[in-house]
Structure 1
Amino acid sequence: MATGKVRYWAAAKEAAGVAEEPFEAANLEELMTKVTAGRENLARVAARSSFLVDGQPVGRRPHASVVLEEGVTVEVLPPFAGG
Structure 2
Amino acid sequence: MSTSSGRDLAAETVTVRYWAGARAAAGTGEDTFEVGGTVTLSDVVALVLERHPDDRMARTVAVCSVLLGDQPVRSQDPASVLVPPGSVVELLPPFAGG
Q: Could you state the TM-score of these two structures normalised by the residue count of structure 1?
A: 0.91
Cα deviations by residue, 1:27-64 (Å, 9 ceiling, x for unpaired): 11111112113232111100011000011100410101
Pairwise CA RMSD: 1.3
Counterparts of 1:33-52 in structure 2, within 5 Å, are: 33-37=46-50, 38-52=53-67
Unaligned runs of 5+ in 2: 1-11
**C-alpha distance in structure 2 between counterparts of 1:13 and 1:65, whole Å:** 25
Percent same amino acid at aligned positions? 44
What residue is the counterpart of 1:5 in the other structure?
A: 15
What residue is the counterpart of 1:80 in the other structure?
A: 95
Unaligned runs of 5+ in 1: none
| Aligned residue type for 1:15 | A
Deviating beyond 4 angstroms after TM superposition, the runs of 4 or more aligned structure 1 residues are none
- Residue aligned with 1:71, SS: coil
Does residue 54 (structure 1) correspond to residue 64 (structure 2)? The answer is no
**C-alpha distance in structure 2 between counterparts of 1:41 and 1:73, whole Å:** 22
Instruction: Tell me the matched-pair count.
Output: 82
Counterparts of 1:14-29 in structure 2, within 5 Å, are: 14-25=24-35, 26-29=39-42
Match of 1:64 among 57, 79, 85: 79
Match of 1:31 among 23, 28, 44: 44
